[in-house]
């Protein structure tokens, strides 16, 4: 049975710390992987549908003709019949809360304000024209991913939303019916069965069948993430970086070991390249969590247990800290995708946590955030929470600045404008003020 890798932070070996901090980034930026992905990307760029179908045959063992790439209307109807009422209800609940969250996100996206007498400035928010959404399929069924990235795109008002999803492994051309139910609930009909890097390239460049988009979004394997990085060189933007799942929990001796262990295993079961970290200042709690993790691991299916065991030993583990300040400092250096605070005063800890994709307080489990609460669950990984955020309606919106000046306000600024124009050697800039009788 797998064991948690246990460390004491003050004497932690530099190699262990470096491995945990780096987690799966080395795989994403691996030279051999990127060379392989580049071949696929370039093949799709040059040969379109033919290359997409070639990738399906090579990597999924699925023979597909170009006219079969688009999911048909009858497949949507069959999907609804194949998905249980309970799952449909869960999908609708999640979409409703995600919609409400993102409507609030956009409420003040456009704004105007007079910042000085006669000087009005602001921003006008508008959706991007087309978005590509990648939904993974290799390690399971992920309708929640399309809920999390599709709903914000719909709320933002993106005119064209293209969904690419690999076929279900071992079931021919079949696309996950639960994903199709989500697409139907969101009114998304441009759904295509395409795998991995070829799917990213297909929406980035467009093919004879698959429309081109301006931005591609979605979590996936290191190869999928590498493809998203590469297509930016051709003008298709993405958000950095939605790689393998990772979580970090900060707990003190007030936490329930059984609950904490369950939440700890939540993100760990995603994959062999996932990471799960527990930081605590309680040696007693750590010991109790170790026992609970071992017990709960035994209840997982073999393949999920294998994933979880890797996540708690290879890139993760339990780390004993001297106090919560030390835990927060480590967490800020790590910049986790998911952070959970299980302490007596979680708000006090959260206010000092500067870098995290999401922060869940108290008795708020990762599972609820993934499926139902409405907050983003497609979040930056690999430390990119330092510089980017989870997928919301803002991901699919850009802004134009807007300004209006009165003649009086312009007159007050004119001397400075003219002085800077002349200093920088732009006489026409200065002339634009003087022709108005200013400066």
- Per DSSP, the three-state class of 8 is strand
What residues pair up with 132 in beta bridges, in sequence order?
Answer: 162, 216
Sheet containing strand 215-217, edge to edge, reads 191-193, 160-165, 130-134, 215-217
Question: What tokens appear for 227 in the block?
Answer: 């493809």
In angstroms, rounded to a whole number, what is the distance separating the alpha carbons of residues 161 and 165? 13
Q: Alpha-carbon dihedral of residues 424, 429, 435, 439, nearest 10 degrees? A: -40
The DSSP element (H or E) to which 7 belongs, if any, is: strand 6-8
Which residue among the candidates 120, 337, 347, 423 is catalytic per the annotation? 337
Helix axes 283-297, 257-268, angle to 10 degrees: 60
In angstroms, rounded to a whole number, what is the distance separating the alpha carbons of residues 69 and 44? 14
In angstroms, rounded to a whole number, what is the distance separating the alpha carbons of residues 190 and 196? 17
Single out the residue of 340, 287, 277 nearest to residue 313, CA to CA: 277
Q: What is the CA radius of gyration of the chain?
A: 25
User: Residue 368: CB partners within 8 Å, gap ≥ 6?
Assistant: none
* Number of other residues whose CB lies within 10 A of the CB of residue 86: 8
Query: What value, to the nearest 5°, has the Cα angle with vertex 121 and ends 120 and 123?
Result: 145
Which residue among the candidates 269, 338, 422, 429 is catalytic per the annotation? 338
In angstroms, rounded to a whole number, what is the distance separating the alpha carbons of residues 347 and 360? 10
User: Residue 374: CB partners within 8 Å, gap ≥ 6?
Assistant: 94, 96, 97, 98, 99, 100, 101
Is 338 tagged catalytic?
Answer: yes
CB neighbour burial string for 404-425, b if at least 16 within 10 angstroms, e if fewer: eeeeebbbbbbeebbeebeeee
CA distances 419 to 12, 269, 428, Å, are 58, 62, 12
Query: Catalytic residue positions?
Result: 337-338
């Amino acid at each position: 049975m797998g064991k948690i890798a246990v460390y004491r932070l003050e004497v932690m070996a530099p190699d262990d710390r470096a491995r945990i901090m780096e987690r799966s980034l080395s795989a994403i930026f691996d030279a051999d992987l990127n060379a392989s992905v580049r071949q696929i990307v370039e093949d799709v760029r040059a040969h379109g549908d033919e290359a997409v179908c070639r990738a399906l045959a090579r990597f999924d063992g699925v023979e597909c003709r170009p006219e079969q790439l688009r999911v048909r209307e009858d497949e949507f109807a069959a999907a609804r019949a194949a998905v249980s009422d309970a799952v449909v209800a869960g999908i609708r609940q999640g979409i409703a809360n995600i919609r409400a969250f993102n409507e609030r996100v956009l409420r003040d996206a456009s704004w105007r304000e007079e910042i000085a007498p006669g000087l009005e400035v602001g921003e006008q928010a508008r959706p991007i024209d087309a978005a590509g959404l990648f939904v993974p399929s290799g390690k399971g069924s992920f309708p929640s991913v399309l809920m999390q990235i599709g709903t914000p795109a719909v709320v933002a008002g993106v005119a064209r939303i293209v969904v690419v999803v690999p076929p279900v492994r071992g079931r021919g051309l079949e696309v996950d019916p639960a994903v199709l139910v989500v697409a139907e609930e969101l009114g998304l009909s441009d759904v295509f069965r395409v795998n991995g890097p070829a799917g990213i390239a297909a929406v980035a460049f467009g093919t004879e069948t698959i429309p081109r988009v301006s931005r591609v979004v979605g979590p996936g394997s290191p190869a999928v993430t590498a493809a998203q990085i590469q297509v930016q060189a051709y003008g298709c933007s993405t958000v950095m970086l939605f790689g393998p799942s990772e979580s970090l929990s900060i707990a003190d001796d007030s936490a329930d070991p059984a609950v904490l262990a369950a939440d700890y295993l939540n993100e760990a079961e995603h994959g062999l390249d996932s990471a799960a970290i527990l930081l605590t200042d309680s040696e007693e709690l750590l010991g109790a969590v170790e026992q609970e993790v071992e017990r709960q691991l035994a209840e997982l299916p073999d393949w999920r247990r294998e994933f979880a065991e890797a996540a708690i030993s290879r890139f993760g583990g339990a780390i004993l800290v001297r106090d919560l300040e030390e835990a927060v400092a480590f967490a800020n250096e790590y910049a986790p995708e998911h952070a959970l605070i299980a302490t007596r005063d979680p708000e006090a800890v959260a206010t000092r946590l500067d870098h995290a994709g999401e922060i869940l307080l108290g008795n708020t489990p990762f599972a609820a955030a993934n499926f139902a609460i409405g907050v983003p669950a497609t979040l930056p990984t690999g430390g990119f929470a330092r510089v980017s955020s989870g997928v919301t309606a803002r991901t699919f919106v850009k802004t134009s600045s807007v300004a209006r000046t009165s003649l009086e306000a312009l007159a007050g600024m004119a001397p400075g404008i003219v002085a800077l124009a002349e200093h920088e050697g732009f006489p026409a800039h200065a002339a634009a003020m003087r022709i108005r009788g200013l400066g």
